[in-house]
């Protein structure tokens, strides 16, 4: 298990865009299971949407990407590097994510060739899938 300080040693994101609170499981270069506690005081809820707060889908994808970055950047040869988006494929949003939810973020690296790879990404709340798709990344 990694806490927030250990996560920040692996990925360069910092608040307010750092979207992970803890990592439960990590296999460097292969997979990561992380969590984001979704709080009503997050700045995006002020405008998305007033009176009906819903976590923006793009931030769910960013949360998944950060979990994937923890997986890939925790490999010894990738330490100190950054993982950038190369693409988002087949991402589907199944249910809204609301304040008070605990977002479980699972990313499994399914292929990598040189600095480019693909991760299968799933976000869930209470065991129910809220978003799923593939994320392509490039290590720089």
Res. 8 pLDDT band, cuts 50 70 90: very high
Q: How far apart are CA 22 and CA 39, in angstroms?
A: 15
Q: Provide the edge-to-edge strand list for the sheet that holds 102-113.
A: 22-27, 31-37, 102-113, 116-125, 128-139, 83-93
Q: Is 108 a residue of the active site?
A: no
Domain boundaries, the chain: 4-139
Report percent pLDDT > 70 for the chain.
100
Q: Residue 24 contacts by C-beta under 8 Å, 6 or more apart in sequence?
A: 1, 33, 34, 35
What pLDDT, on the 0 to 100 scale, is given for residue 100?
98
User: What's the start-to-end Cα distance of the chain, in Å?
Assistant: 26
What pLDDT, on the 0 to 100 scale, is given for residue 9?
97
For 55-82, what is each residue's pLDDT tens digit? 999 999 999 999 999 999 999 999 999 9
Report percent pLDDT > 90 for the chain.
100
The active-site residue out of 8, 30, 35, 48 is 48
What number is the average pLDDT over the span 89-113? 98
What pLDDT, on the 0 to 100 scale, is given for residue 51?
94
CATH number of 4-139: 3.10.129.10
What pLDDT, on the 0 to 100 scale, is given for residue 27?
98
What number is the average pLDDT over the span 2-19? 97
């Amino acid at each position: 298990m990694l806490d927030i300080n250990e996560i920040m040693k692996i990925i360069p994101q910092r608040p307010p865009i750092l979207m992970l609170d803890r990592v439960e499981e990590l296999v460097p270069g292969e997979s990561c299971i992380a969590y984001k506690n979704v709080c009503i005081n997050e700045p995006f809820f002020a405008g998305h949407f007033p009176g009906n707060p819903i976590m923006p889908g793009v931030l769910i994808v960013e949360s998944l990407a950060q979990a994937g970055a923890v997986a890939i950047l925790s490999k010894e040869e990738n330490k100190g590097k950054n993982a950038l988006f190369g693409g988002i494929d087949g991402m589907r949003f199944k249910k809204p994510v609301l304040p008070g939810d605990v977002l479980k973020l699972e990313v499994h690296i399914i292929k990598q060739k040189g600095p480019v790879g693909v991760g299968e990404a799933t976000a869930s709340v209470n065991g129910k899938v809220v978003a799923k798709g593939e994320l392509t990344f490039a290590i720089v």
